[in-house]
Amino acid sequence: MEIKSNVKNLAIAGVLSSATTLGAYKLFLEKNQTDALFTNTPSAFTRMVSDAGNVPAGAPGEFTYAAEKATPAVVHIKTKMTRNVSRQMFDPFEDFFGFGGGGNRRSQPETQEASGSGVIISADGYIVTNNHVVQDADEVTVILNDKRELKAKVISTDPSTDIAVIQVKTSNLPFLTFGDSDAIKVGEWVLAVGNPFNLESTVTAGIVSAKGRQNIIDRDGGDVNPLESFIQTDAAVNPGNSGGALVNLKGELIGINTAIYSRTGQFAGYSFAVPVGIVKKVAADLIKYGNVQRGYLGVNIGEVNAKLVEEKDLKVNSGVYVAGFAKSGGSAAQSAGLKVNDVIVKIDGIETKSMAKLMELVGRKRPGETVVVTVNRDGELKDFNVTLKNKDGNTNIIKGETVSSTVTSEYLGAKIANLTESEKAKFKVKGGAKLVEVDPEGRIGYQGFENGFVITKIDDKEVGNAKEVADVLANRRGKVRIEGVDLDGTRVKYEFYLK
């Protein structure tokens, strides 16, 4: 069955429940070479030599080896967050005297809990999961396969790929090694490992039913450009599987389970995973730089189809059509010699039969790295060495702040945390900081500020991060003006006195 983008009902595979309720809350979406980062610690980035010769080929239908290898390295993630909940409020006196008309609705902050999965990728506790599993979380807890519960910190997140990295402080953990998502074939057996419906360590089997799926997730926010080239499988994935492992029969990680095709919020035959080719690059960047370094060809592209072939008199029936070049910052592809009407058929020798595949392959590279772009130009194949640029048109590496930075202010009576990239996109801000663990009796809590409030300006001056907010307000006395974003997304201004 072909999935049309304008009729899709997709559910992010997460479990969400109120702290005071045990019922599941379905999250719906509707929508038309690697870094040696862990030189001293065994990890998925540096495959162990002892494993290389002992991994069995994996007989079709034989799942026990892969299940036994993957299960210990998949964790259960629980988060707590504060959200504004609208409730109907009644005044008994108004109702008694007939004045009330049924009361009114008021928004109140409420602690909620969410559940998902994660995959251990290093012995010292680095874990890959989905951004939407830890997004907006005030507290993250990881439950290991041996039932230990550990507090985790969010290292950094990438909303564009829906990937996040968190870490627990421990050692000698089991971890999965990275497989090759380019090598998997349609029809190949795979296992999905995760924690659906809070059922820990659940393994399901299926086949790869398609590769390079795109237009799966519609993410709000002008700064979020989805990078999608999903592996589609029919392995059963349900709410709570988000961030869990998709493995081949060798027990190698080939994807991170992210979304399901569903009209009800539960599995209906299709699930989608971010391929490990993207995961390992994004994870490496988040750990090393605090953000993702993206290389760009600087081309406007389109899918080659029969109509385009006839209209442009192309000499090839598949590939990615070059319709134009980026104007701002210059185009890396144009500088290397590509022309309009070229059809890109390979990147570094790997076929690009779709835009999704091209974007995936380029998305694995950083600014300054060179890729070999093979094009079909008037029936002839030509290779071009293209040095990728960043979105600003240069090859600089931009190091970002990790989102785990939290500052404790005893003076204010609160902890202040840096915003994640997804929070910046959600609130449409470039910087700022979020209040967490606010003491109601403290100086800032006494003024009515609550957990989750985002401070963007103090005395009409923009603030960029948690440390800056804490420094500006340290030992402050007198009148203060604070601007920010409330829990419900409303932009507000407050003026008050600190004593």
CATH of the domain at 444: 2.30.42.10
Give the model's pLDDT for residue 499. Answer: 79
14 falls in which pLDDT band (50, 70, 90)? very low
Judged by average pLDDT, the poorest of 66-70, 318-322, 451-455, 474-478 is: 474-478
Instruction: Give 494's contacts (C-beta < 8 A, 6+ positions apart).
Output: 447, 448, 449, 481, 482, 483
Instruction: List C-alpha distances in Å: 400 to 288, 388, 389, 426, 452.
Output: 9, 20, 17, 18, 22
Q: Is the pLDDT of residue 218 over 50?
A: yes
Give the model's pLDDT for residue 81. Answer: 81
State the amino acid at position 443 in one-letter form: R
Which whole number is the average pLDDT over 178-205? 94
Give the model's pLDDT for residue 32. Answer: 35
Q: Is 401 a member of any domain?
A: no
What does the block give as tokens for 258? 């992210």
Residue 130 sits at the vertex; the CA angle it makes with 25 and 197, to the nearest 5 degrees, is: 35
Q: Is 30 a member of any domain?
A: yes
What does the block give as tokens for 196? 């659906």
Average pLDDT, the chain: 82
User: Nearest-CA neighbor of 14 among 111, 114, 112, 81?
Assistant: 114
Cβ neighbour number for residue 495 with a 10 Å cutoff: 10
Give the model's pLDDT for residue 290. Answer: 87
Give the model's pLDDT for residue 11. Answer: 40
Give the model's pLDDT for residue 13. Answer: 40
Percent of the residues in the chain that have a pLDDT greater than 90, as a whole number: 52
CA dihedral of 413, 419, 424, 426, whole degrees rounded to 10? -70
CA–CA gap between residue 275 and residue 159 (Å, rounded): 15
Give the model's pLDDT for residue 392. Answer: 79
Give the model's pLDDT for residue 5. Answer: 35
User: 412 and 381 share a domain?
Assistant: no
Place of tokens 């700064």: 223
> 312-355: per-residue pLDDT in tens?
999 999 999 999 998 866 899 999 999 999 999 999 999 999 99
User: 166 and 211 share a domain?
Assistant: yes
Q: Is 112 a member of any domain?
A: yes
Q: Is the pLDDT of residue 95 over 60?
A: no
Cβ pair 455, 433 in contact under 8 A: yes
154 falls in which pLDDT band (50, 70, 90)? very high
**Catalytic residue numbers?**
132, 162, 242
Q: Is the pLDDT of residue 274 over 70?
A: yes
> 158-171: per-residue pLDDT in tens?
988 999 999 999 99
Question: Residue 134: phi, psi to the nearest 5?
Answer: -110, 0
User: 73 and 121 share a domain?
Assistant: yes
Q: Is the pLDDT of residue 223 over 60?
A: no
Give the model's pLDDT for residue 305. Answer: 93
Q: Is 321 a member of any domain?
A: yes
pTM for the model stands at 0.72
User: 351 and 222 share a domain?
Assistant: no
Question: Residue 284: phi, psi to the nearest 5?
Answer: -60, -45
Q: Is 185 a member of any domain?
A: yes
User: 351 and 484 share a domain?
Assistant: no
Q: Is 268 a member of any domain?
A: yes
Compare 111 and 372 and report the one with higher pLDDT. Answer: 372
CA–CA gap between residue 100 and residue 92 (Å, rounded): 8
Which whole number is the average pLDDT over 83-87? 57
Q: Specify the CATH number for the domain of residue 200.
A: 2.40.10.120
Q: Is 154 a member of any domain?
A: yes
Give the model's pLDDT for residue 85. Answer: 57
Give the model's pLDDT for residue 30. Answer: 30
- Total domain count for the chain? 3
User: 239 and 307 share a domain?
Assistant: no
User: 313 and 208 share a domain?
Assistant: no
Give the model's pLDDT for residue 141. Answer: 97
16 falls in which pLDDT band (50, 70, 90)? very low
Judged by average pLDDT, the poorest of 77-86, 262-271, 395-404 is: 395-404
> 369-403: per-residue pLDDT in tens?
999 999 999 999 999 999 999 887 888 877 665 54
Q: Which of these three, 288, 308, 337, is where a domain ends?
A: 288
Burial annotation 214-226 (CB, 10 A radius, 16+ → b, else e): bbbbebebeebee
Q: Which of these three, 264, 288, 312, is where a domain ends?
A: 288
Q: Is the pLDDT of residue 99 over 70?
A: no
User: 305 and 284 share a domain?
Assistant: no
User: 47 and 120 share a domain?
Assistant: yes
Q: Which of these three, 343, 359, 387, is where a domain ends?
A: 387
Q: Is 183 a member of any domain?
A: yes
User: 169 and 101 share a domain?
Assistant: yes
> 34-54: per-residue pLDDT in tens?
455 555 688 988 765 444 445
Q: 323: domain range?
A: 299-387
State the amino acid at position 10 in one-letter form: L
Burial annotation 392-417 (CB, 10 A radius, 16+ → b, else e): ebeeeeeeebbbbebbebeebbbbbb
User: 338 and 232 share a domain?
Assistant: no
Which whole number is the average pLDDT over 440-448? 86
Compare 138 and 18 and report the one with higher pLDDT. Answer: 138
Cβ pair 253, 74 in contact under 8 A: no
User: 62 and 92 share a domain?
Assistant: yes
Q: What is the 3-state secondary structure (H, E, C) of the chain?
A: CCCCHHHEEEEECCEEEECCCCCCECCEEEECCCCCCCCCCCECCECCHHHHCCCCCCCCCCCHHHHHHHHHHEEEEEEEEEEEEEEEECCHHHHHHCCCCCCEEEEEEEEEEEEEEEEECECCCEEEEEHHHHCCCCEEEEECCCCCEEEEEEEEEECCCCEEEEEECCCCCCCCCECCCCCCCCCCEEEEEECHHHCCCEEEEEEEEEEEECCCCCCCCCCCCCCCCEEEECCCCCCCCCCCEEECCCCCEEEEEEEEECCCCCCCCEEEEEEHHHHHHHHHHHHHCCCCCCCECCEEEEECCHHHHHHHCCCCCCCEEEEEECCCCCCHHHHHCCCCCCEEEEECCEECCCHHHHHHHHHCCCCCCEEEEEEEECCEEEEEEEECECCCCCCCCCCCCCCCCEEEECCCCEEEEECCHHHHHHHCCCCCEEEECCCCCCHHHHCCCCCCCEEEEECCEECCCHHHHHHHHCCCCEEEEEEEECCCCCEEEEEEEEC
Give the model's pLDDT for residue 38. Answer: 54
Give the model's pLDDT for residue 6. Answer: 35
Which whole number is the average pLDDT over 76-98? 64
Which whole number is the average pLDDT over 56-83? 84
Cβ pair 226, 213 in contact under 8 A: no
